[in-house]
Every structure is written in structure tokens, then in C-alpha cells.
Amino acid sequence: MSPAILPEDSKTRALSSIELRRHLQDPAADQESYPWISAMRELQCRLPEEFESVISLSTSESPRDRELAADLLGQNLLAEKQRLPEVRQILLQMLNREQMPPVVKAIAFALGHVNGPECLVPLVNLSEHPSADVRLAAVSSLGGGADPRAIAAMIPRVSDEDCDVRNWATFGLGSLVEVDAPGIREALLSRLNDADLEIRDEALIGLARRRESRAVPALLRELQSLKARGGSTEQWEWFVSELEEALKLVPDPMESSDWAPVAKAISALRSEGGNRP
């Protein structure tokens, strides 16, 4: 279930804001658990009445307090964000004075959630941060942006030393960005020999969506590898389905000298037991 549409939890709503903050700041709390997510969402919903206390957290001497302030201001669990101009200003003020990578990471994610024009340059700068966690947050927040500065910041990150950063940058450029440009194609082509299968597949899908014929040999190798592995897995189904969608952009793919081998290979895979469950 998407966190943005979590059902109301009467027990969580009954807790005071102090109790909610105490739970969110508990080092032993599982941040992937429903109670933690529910508590975060409830406190984010209370942002208008808790605004001053959140501002106080943002200037606390405790990094844990400042990280919580950024998480609350980011309002990632709310479909409708509140007090956006003020929130962006506070987050940027926090960023200007923050040195702790975990807090900078939280601020970078928050800037992506409350996205505004003033957030772009700080996120571009954070994409080169020494901490891989911060770079990941910046790349995630920049993903999908059509601004040339965002794209220029994403391109070198497809070669980042950190696998997660490379993955998000490749996904962002390949699937989230609609822009087509030589720099994007070359960046995606550079990932076709990445050690990580998911990154290779993300690059291939991005190139197929741009009808980049230089990717065809690698696409055929990947489809042959899928055939050899056999069976339908989540990664298998995602890759083939995305590739089928990309081929819809090619006029008459079965008649295309470049893309007919790919279309035929997909058809063979589907007929040999790779049909969708």
C-alpha cells in the first residue's frame, strides 16, 4: 500500500506530537514498519500547527532532531504539501549550515519532495557530495527533471563508484527524463557493460525508448540470456514489458531492419513460457 494513501490510524492520531516525535527518534524503531510510517505521516499532517516546533528542531544541536525536521518538512507521505515557500526556505537555510551527511541526505530528499526552482542548484551541487548517501538523495531528487542543469548533473553520476547512485542516475536518465540528447545516449551506452544487471537493463530500456540502434546487439544478448535462464521472474517481466512498451514507439518494428530481431526475440520468449501470469 502506498504511504501516501495509508488508512487513518486512530491509535496514531490519539498520540500527542511529543509522543510521535519520541517514537520517530527511537534508534531501535524500524523505519520501514507501518507504525513508524504512520507516525511520520501523522506528524507531517500536523505541520501547520507544529510549524514552530519543527523550526526549533531544525536548529537543534542534535543531528537526530535536525534530520527529523527535514523529514517532516519534506512531507513525502502527503499528497498535498503545505506551506511550500516557507518550507523550501527553511530547508535551504538548514542546508547552508549543515555538515552532517545523514542530515544533508534528509534535506536533499526533502528538497526533492517540495520541489521548486530554488531547489535545483543546491541539488546539482549535492550530486557531487563526498557522501554516496547524499549523492543518492540528490540524484533521486533530480530524477525526471528536464532542466539542462539537472541532466548535466545526472550524466556523470551514471559512472558513480556507488552502485545505488549509478542505478538511480541510469533509471532517471533512461526512464524518467523525456529529453533525448546525444549526451544522454552516450551516458546510457556507457552502462551496457556494468557489473550490475539492473543497471544494464535500465540503460537498455532507456536506449530502446530513444530508438538507439547501437543498443540492439546488447538487447539481443540480454534477451538470449533471459531465455537461457528460463522462467518468468519479476526482473524478467519488468524488462520484457518495458521493452515491449519501447517498441511501440518504433513504426512497424517487425519490418524494421534494426528492431525486427528484437521484436522477434521478445515474441519467441513470450511463446516459450514467458507470458505474463
pLDDT for res 230: 67
pLDDT for res 74: 98
For the record, the C-alpha cell of 48 comes out as 501547520
Give pLDDT tens digits along the chain (277 positions): 334 434 457 789 999 999 999 999 998 989 999 999 999 999 999 999 999 999 999 999 999 999 999 999 999 999 999 999 999 999 999 999 999 999 999 999 999 999 999 999 999 999 999 999 999 999 999 998 889 999 999 999 999 999 999 999 999 999 999 999 999 999 999 999 999 999 999 999 999 999 999 999 999 999 998 878 765 688 888 999 999 999 999 999 999 999 999 999 999 888 875 544 4
Contact indicator for 206, 175 with CB cutoff of 8 Å? yes
pLDDT for res 273: 59
> Among 113, 142, 116, 114, which Cα is nearest to 127's?
142
Please identify which residue in the block is written with the cell numbers 551496457.
Answer: 192
In 25-147, which residue ranges form alpha helices assigned H by DSSP? 34-45, 47-58, 63-74, 84-97, 101-113, 120-126, 132-142
Please identify which residue in the block is written with the cell numbers 509522543.
Answer: 19
Burial of 43 (0-12, 13-18, 19+ CB in 10 A): buried
pLDDT for res 6: 43
In angstroms, the CA 137 to CA 123 distance is 9
In 143-233, which residue ranges form alpha helices assigned H by DSSP? 148-157, 163-171, 182-189, 197-209, 216-229
Is 0.85 topped by the overall pTM?
yes
